[in-house]
Amino acid sequence: MSLFGSNLAEVESRLYENLKRTKAVFPEETQRIEWGLALMRDITQITKEASKDYPKKPNLYANHNLFARNRQLLLNAYICLSFSSYGTQFVILRTVLENANLMRLFNKNPQYAFEWLPINLQKRFTKETQLKYGKAGKHDETFDPFPVTNLLYDVMGKAQVKKDINKFYGQLCNYTHPNFVGWQELVGKKEKVKLF
């Protein structure tokens, strides 16, 4: 039995051919991504050892969860890249960037990490930690990408980093939102499109 059922063996065959072609055209890139994914799996094991500090450090708990999420998202982005689903890959990478910036923010300010967690998870922390970070009474907080970037890179010396991240984020958004720019980049390069 094939991955897509006996009637869809042809689809499976095409996906496999795309995978082989992608690896042939981008051998170094695919090897680096595979190496990075293996490294992320190893890091996940290391972070499990740090779980002893969870009751005192909400940023460690939040970031462990975000890191595990990013590992899975990057694996899915790699699969999309391998099977020539480039637009979908960029949609996934946008979420990865948002998570990475959020992890940076949580390391910079553990208060935000505590407020991001649901109330039932906040109650699992030690009383000392709850008193330290729970004074605002906030839970289930959401953090929009641009304010997070502003909080992280508001220092004058980091203005270029902030500008570059916002530009890259904007490019990833072109594939997420149904606008002409993302569509044109994916389809327009393959053939000249006549609109009228």
Which residues are CB-neighbours of 23 under 8 A, at least 6 positions away? Answer: 30, 82
Mean pLDDT value of segment 134-160? 89
For the segment 46-92, what is each residue's pLDDT rounded down to a tens digit?
A: 777 766 667 788 998 898 889 889 999 999 998 888 887 878 888 99
Q: In the prediction, which pLDDT does 159 show?
A: 86
Number of alpha helices (DSSP H) and beta strands (DSSP E) in the chain? 10, 0
Mean pLDDT value of segment 169-196? 65
pTM above 0.85, yes or no: no
Asked whether the CA dihedral 62, 59, 77, 176 is positive or negative, the reply is positive
For the segment 5-32, what is each residue's pLDDT rounded down to a tens digit?
A: 665 677 778 888 888 888 888 888 888 8
Residue 37: what residue type? L
Q: If DSSP states are collapsed to H, E and C, what string results for 47-114?
A: HHHHHHHCCCCHHHHHHHHHHHHHHHHHHHHHHHHHCCCHHHHHHHHHHHHHHHHHHHHHHHCHHHHH
Within 10 A of 178 (CB to CB), how many other CB atoms are there? 8
Task: Name the pLDDT band for 196 (thresholds 50, 70, 90).
Answer: very low
Domain extent listing, the chain: 9-143
How high is the mean pLDDT of the chain?
Answer: 83
Range of weakest confidence among 46-50, 103-107, 164-168, 181-185 = 181-185
